[in-house]
């Protein structure tokens, strides 16, 4: 069940009556772009009550590599992001510190942000690191070890990784081969993680305790593999803020690229607040033919008012139909089957002060699914 993935230290919720299942869903990166800079309906709830309970994690891949626009941000965009983060309105903390504070129940500074970079491309070392270092902004690099071992020209080297470590950069685990984990067996995924862990130990003298799923793709089985491997937490690539109630082994990150890296979109992301949810259905992010489109739903676990203002979007179908059952159960309906590959959903609710409560999720339909 999904609730086994939430933070182990979380107070156990009282069981709730199961709701009926509906067809479903929500969004890819639409909601934030539609709402950025917009006006809020009267009666929008104040954000301050939960400001110290949420954190936002930003995800990058490449910097100044314009041939890869879907995973790249321009250097101008990066510098704009740094300018925003150093404006005094935000607190950028190392990812392990954010995780520890949430684990311990320690209040976070308002507008806490973490920075992550996936895959260890060379531009991380040559372009991002000098700028982030100058701005005194901590960050985490998620490394797939095979990429470094192959000594590819566009990838960082182990020597460069060691340099980052010596300068206080956090290294995260990203498997050995950067495989599509949801397409492979438990044995294959376990072997890939163990292979990478061995290489980390050999090259760095430690094994990272924070994990990120390649491509953000996961399934209940894959999440179990990662959990049993001993990682503290694991991150996907779905949008949203997270808090203590969020699934510990499938945490959200806002992805940045050229198309979705504007200052307005960035501000929308770093000002997001977690929408406190539990009892997420379906429990498995993997889409199976017999349940496509899936019946998506979740229970809002705190007194978040004006749920009628909640809007949900699907990356393949636009705005979805939402239904509120009772005081705090949300069901999301969508008519179109999920396509092969990744589908993201986003549900957002105005929180006042230009901020949004945000819940995102990513589903994956294997290529061999019919």
Give all strands (DSSP E) within 51-133, no chain letters.
55-60, 62-63, 72-73, 91-92, 112-118
**Residue 367: predicted pLDDT:** 85
Contact yes or no for 32/346 (Cβ under 8 A): yes
Task: Tell me, yes or no, whether 232 lies in a domain.
Answer: yes
Instruction: Examine the domain organization and report whether 48 and 68 are in the same domain.
Output: no
The domain tally of the chain equals 2
Task: Tell me, yes or no, whether 213 lies in a domain.
Answer: yes
Half-sphere exposure of 157 (CA within 13 A, CB side): 6
State the CATH number of the domain containing residue 233. 3.20.20.370
What range does the domain containing 227 cover?
A: 55-271
State the CATH number of the domain containing residue 323. 2.60.40.1220
pLDDT in tens, 87-132: 999 999 999 999 999 999 899 999 999 999 999 999 999 999 999 9
Dist CA 14 CA 113 (whole Å): 31
Task: Tell me, yes or no, whether 10 lies in a domain.
Answer: no
Task: Tell me, yes or no, whether 48 lies in a domain.
Answer: yes
Given 271, 289, 305, the domain boundary residue is: 271
Residue 308: CB atoms within 10 Å: 10
Contact yes or no for 296/281 (Cβ under 8 A): yes
Given 227, 244, 271, the domain boundary residue is: 271
Dist CA 334 CA 314 (whole Å): 8
User: Average pLDDT in the 174-196 region?
Assistant: 97
Instruction: Examine the domain organization and report whether 296 and 168 are in the same domain.
Output: no
* Confidence label for 246 from pLDDT (cuts 50, 70 and 90): very high
Over its C-alpha atoms, the chain yields an Rg (Å, rounded) of: 20
Task: Tell me, yes or no, whether 265 lies in a domain.
Answer: yes
* Confidence label for 369 from pLDDT (cuts 50, 70 and 90): low
Instruction: Examine the domain organization and report whether 66 and 44 are in the same domain.
Output: no
Instruction: Examine the domain organization and report whether 105 and 207 are in the same domain.
Output: yes
Dist CA 202 CA 24 (whole Å): 46
Dist CA 208 CA 226 (whole Å): 12
Instruction: Examine the domain organization and report whether 260 and 329 are in the same domain.
Output: no
**Residue 248: predicted pLDDT:** 94
Task: Tell me, yes or no, whether 185 lies in a domain.
Answer: yes
pLDDT in tens, 161-177: 999 999 999 999 999 99
Cα angle for residues 330, 362, 360 (degrees, 5° grid): 50
Instruction: Examine the domain organization and report whether 60 and 184 are in the same domain.
Output: yes
Instruction: Examine the domain organization and report whether 172 and 316 are in the same domain.
Output: no
Instruction: Examine the domain organization and report whether 249 and 309 are in the same domain.
Output: no
Task: Tell me, yes or no, whether 68 lies in a domain.
Answer: yes
Query: Residue 6: pLDDT above 70?
Result: no
Query: Residue 266: pLDDT above 50?
Result: yes
Instruction: Examine the domain organization and report whether 47 and 131 are in the same domain.
Output: no
Given 244, 271, 298, the domain boundary residue is: 271
Instruction: Examine the domain organization and report whether 109 and 255 are in the same domain.
Output: yes
When the pLDDT of each residue in the chain is averaged and rounded to a whole number, the result is 87
Instruction: Examine the domain organization and report whether 300 and 161 are in the same domain.
Output: no
Task: Tell me, yes or no, whether 2 lies in a domain.
Answer: no
Give the pairing of strands 329-333 and 296-300.
antiparallel
Instruction: Examine the domain organization and report whether 158 and 240 are in the same domain.
Output: yes
């Amino acid at each position: 069940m999904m609730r086994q993935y939430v933070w182990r230290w979380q107070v156990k919720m009282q069981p709730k009556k199961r709701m009926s299942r509906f067809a479903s869903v929500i969004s890819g990166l639409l909601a934030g772009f539609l709402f950025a800079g917009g006006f809020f309906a009267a009666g929008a709830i104040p954000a301050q009550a939960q400001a110290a309970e949420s954190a936002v994690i930003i995800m990058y891949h490449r910097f100044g590599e314009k041939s890869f626009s879907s995973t790249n941000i321009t250097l101008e965009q990066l510098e704009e992001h740094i300018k925003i983060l150093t404006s005094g309105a935000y607190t950028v903390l190392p990812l392990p510190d954010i995780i520890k504070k949430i684990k311990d129940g320690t209040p976070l500074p308002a507008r806490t942000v973490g920075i992550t970079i996936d895959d260890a491309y060379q531009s991380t070392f040559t372009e991002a690191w000098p700028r982030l270092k100058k701005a005194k902004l901590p960050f985490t690099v998620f490394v797939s070890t095979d990429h470094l071992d192959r000594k590819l020209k566009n990838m960082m080297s182990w020597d460069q990784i060691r340099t980052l470590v010596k300068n206080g950069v956090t290294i995260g685990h990203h498997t050995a081969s950067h495989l599509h984990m949801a397409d492979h067996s438990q044995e294959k995924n376990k072997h890939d993680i163990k292979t990478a862990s061995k290489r980390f130990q050999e090259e760095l003298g430690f094994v990272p305790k924070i994990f990120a799923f390649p491509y953000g793709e996961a399934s209940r089985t894959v999440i179990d593999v990662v959990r049993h491997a001993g990682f503290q937490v694991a991150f996907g690539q779905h949008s949203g803020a997270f808090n203590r109630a969020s699934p510990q082994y499938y945490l959200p990150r806002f992805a940045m690229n050229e198309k979705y890296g504007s200052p307005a979109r960035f501000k929308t992301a770093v000002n997001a607040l977690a929408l406190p949810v539990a009892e997420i259905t379906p429990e498995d992010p993997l889409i199976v033919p017999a349940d496509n489109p899936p019946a998506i739903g979740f229970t809002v676990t705190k007194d978040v008012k004006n749920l009628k203002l909640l809007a949900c979007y699907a990356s393949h179908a636009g705005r979805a139909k939402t239904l509120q059952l009772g005081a705090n159960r949300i069901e999301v309906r969508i008519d179109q089957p999920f396509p092969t590959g990744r589908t993201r959903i986003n549900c957002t609710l105005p929180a006042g002060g230009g901020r949004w409560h945000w819940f995102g999720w990513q589903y994956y339909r294997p290529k061999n699914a019919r």
